[in-house]
């Protein structure tokens, strides 16, 4: 990465955003982090992440700024762009969670659609060289053709969260076409690791096992997830910042390629390409924690999918890198952090 650049990270107090900023700050580039610090999950965890980032500043020549800002606030966004003039945008802020979208849809419309468009408006009105944004494996919806490929049709989302992420890809593409903005969609596959989100399976399962509470396992345990370790994800994001999306010069409008375009817009899966059975995942947790889970099998939840499995050939071809951390090694690091933090 060019050290002369200013990088804006939205959602910097979130799980992925925190780890990204932690990696960027020591590089002595100018990093601007924004977050609205909402209470979707424990706000203390977000504050603690930010405090950890502050502790890094002492050795970083003060190349870090945090500003509490909601991307739904267009005027504030415009002011930030005017003041800091970021050239690279890594957009990770969003209302997350598949299940929560069923009970609180407006939060997703506001953040993931209105906020996303506000950010793109700021991008197009400033000299931005590279725009990367978080999409999700959830866009594959009810697709049963595995592994999931960027060439697959993603027109059948089964949750509002997934629909907003698909919409992000469409909106970003239109801006890339209209305003020549290099844009890259990152379809993340179940990211886990230290400082993770409390609403995701690793945290939920670990908490239940340690507290010896009943652990609800959906679809009677017949599920697979392509768990992807956080450090791998961060290395890939940083690689992508150094290689903005470019037009596909061989794009055929009679036979369109979903993952590329005549515009500078690209889509990549970011997953470990090694899905694990949910029950095997629980056994790994049990072994690392040293406590057997008390399991209650439940039916499939609305909006959930049976299997996720990333085909990462396109990513490897683009940057020569893919996630590779072994599940047992990743869980060991996660449990070590969990015991220390909680």
- Give the residue numbers annotated as catalytic, written as ranges: 161
Residue 80's alpha-carbon distances to 17, 71, 83, 89, 340, in angstroms, are 18, 11, 5, 12, 36
Identify the sign of the CA torsion 162, 165, 169, 174. Answer: positive
Residues 249-260, buried b or exposed e (16+ Cβ, 10 A)?
A: eeeeeeeeeebb
């Amino acid at each position: 990465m060019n050290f002369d650049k200013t990088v804006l990270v939205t959602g910097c107090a979130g799980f992925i955003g925190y780890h990204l900023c932690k990696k960027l700050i020591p590089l002595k580039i100018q990093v601007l982090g924004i977050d609205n610090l909402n209470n979707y999950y424990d706000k203390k965890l977000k504050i603690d992440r930010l405090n950890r980032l502050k502790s890094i500043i002492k050795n970083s020549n003060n190349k870090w700024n945090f500003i509490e800002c909601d991307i739904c606030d267009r005027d504030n966004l415009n002011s930030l762009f005017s003041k800091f003039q970021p050239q690279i945008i890594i957009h990770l802020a969003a209302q997350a969670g598949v299940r929560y979208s069923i009970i609180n849809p407006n939060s997703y419309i506001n953040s993931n659609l209105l906020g996303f468009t506000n950010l793109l408006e700021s991008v197009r009105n400033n000299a931005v060289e590279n725009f990367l944004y978080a999409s999700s494996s959830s866009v594959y919806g009810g697709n049963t053709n595995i592994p999931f490929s960027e060439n697959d049709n993603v027109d059948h989302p089964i949750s509002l969260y997934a629909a907003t992420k698909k919409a992000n890809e469409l909106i970003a593409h239109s801006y890339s076409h209209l305003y020549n903005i290099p844009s890259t969609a990152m379809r993340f596959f179940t990211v886990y690791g230290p400082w993770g989100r409390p609403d995701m399976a690793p945290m939920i399962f670990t908490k239940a096992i340690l507290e010896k509470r009943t652990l609800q396992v959906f679809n009677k345990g017949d599920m697979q997830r392509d768990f992807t370790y956080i450090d791998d994800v961060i290395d890939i994001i940083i690689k992508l910042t150094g290689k903005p999306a470019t037009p596909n010069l061989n794009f055929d409008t009679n036979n369109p390629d979903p993952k590329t375009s005549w515009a500078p817009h690209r889509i990549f899966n970011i997953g470990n390409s090694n899905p694990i059975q949910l029950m095997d995942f629980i056994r790994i947790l049990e072994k690392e924690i040293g406590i057997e889970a008390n399991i209650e099998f439940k039916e499939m939840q609305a909006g959930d999918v049976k299997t996720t499995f990333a085909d990462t050939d396109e990513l490897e071809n683009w940057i020569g890198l893919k996630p590779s951390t072994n599940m047992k090694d990743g869980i060991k690091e996660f449990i070590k952090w969990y015991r220390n933090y909680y």
